[in-house]
Amino acid sequence: MQNIEGQAHNSFCATKFMSAPQVELKELNNLFFELCYKACNLKCKHCYIEKNPYKQEKDFIPLDKIKNALLQTRGENISSIYLTGGEPLLHPDFNIILRMCLKFSNVTVMSNGVLINDKKARFLRKIDDENNFETIYRISLDHFDELKNDEIRGRGSFRKAFGAILNLAKYEFNPIISVCNYYQESREDLFKGFYELFKKHNFEIEDINLKIMPYFEKGDSDDFIEDFDFDKTKLDCCNSRVLSANGVYSCPALSNDFRARVGSDMSNYSKRTFLDTQKCAKCIKHFGKNQVNDWM
């Protein structure tokens, strides 16, 4: 791979001649399975994945890849497995994958909630009860105001996600609201808005029920790494890896980006990541400087 073979890693560093910083994987604590990349049932305006608006993609990861990865990482100190997408519940083998993963660790499912109706939530409770590990559902809902949410996530998405959260709560999950902070509001205002919204429906959210991710604009930017004094342990690439249908990547923000590809499967991947993308520069500015990393 170009990066690992020692070529210059200077594209987004402060000076043209300075090498990009590197991060070593300290321990594999978070294992992400990207069940699909483009397959999704929403078309959010701010989604970082480029999709064909006229075509429903079905790029699901094969079940065998997941089975193998679970066996290959058995000796690691994994505290959570994350099922992501696209929309992970669209995977035809989602229930099998969830059951398999729950034999190894707690599992966080990152979903838009569209498919989690009452019946599905009841079934997910049954799967959870079969295992000693816990399932955590993170449902994307970007604003407590229906119009503001649907402006970015599409008409009807608020009601679906809102319904999913209440259905999960009904079956004794403790769902997490995952907010992409598109409107750049304060945590206090967002928390207050969501708290009041859900309280009316007998679900009292606490701090732990709200994860707020910064909104990074799509496309190229002028961001570059100007300050090399940052806390590497706050970056996902320090304790995570992502397995997608296309290989292993250093963090969820860069999955399927060739610059962050560190191997083909979980038996053989590089522990080193070069931070040489503009996303890395944004990520370091945000997370490497004492901000809470709400991914985990």
Q: Which two tokens stand for residue 88?
A: 């992970």
- Nearer Cβ to ligand SF4 (167/255): 255
236 binds ligand SF4 (CB under 6 A): yes
Largest CA distance in the chain: 58
* 3-class secondary structure per residue, 134-184: CEEEEEECCCCCHHHHHHHHCCCHHHHHHHHHHHHHHCCCCCEEEEEECCC
Interface residue with ligand SF4 among 31, 197, 251, 262 (CB under 6 A) is 251
275 binds ligand SF4 (CB under 6 A): yes
Cβ–Cβ under 8 Å, residues 82 and 48 = no
The per-residue DSSP string of 90-114 comes to: GSTTHHHHHHHHTTTSEEEEEE-ST
Ramachandran area for residue 200 (φ above 0: left; ψ -120 to 50: alpha; else beta) = alpha
280 binds ligand SF4 (CB under 6 A): yes
6 sits in which H/E element: none
> Between 191 and 230, how does the x/- string for binding to ligand SF4 read (CB under 6 A)?
----------------------------------------
Residues that bind ligand SF4 (rule: CB under 6 A) add up to a total of 15
- Nearer Cβ to ligand SF4 (209/277): 277
- Nearer Cβ to ligand SF4 (166/242): 242
- Nearer Cβ to ligand SF4 (153/279): 279
- Nearer Cβ to ligand SF4 (194/274): 274
Site for ligand SF4 in 53-92 (CB under 6 A): none
Residues near ligand SF4 (CB under 6 A): 23, 235-237, 250-251, 253-254, 260, 273, 275, 279-280, 283-284
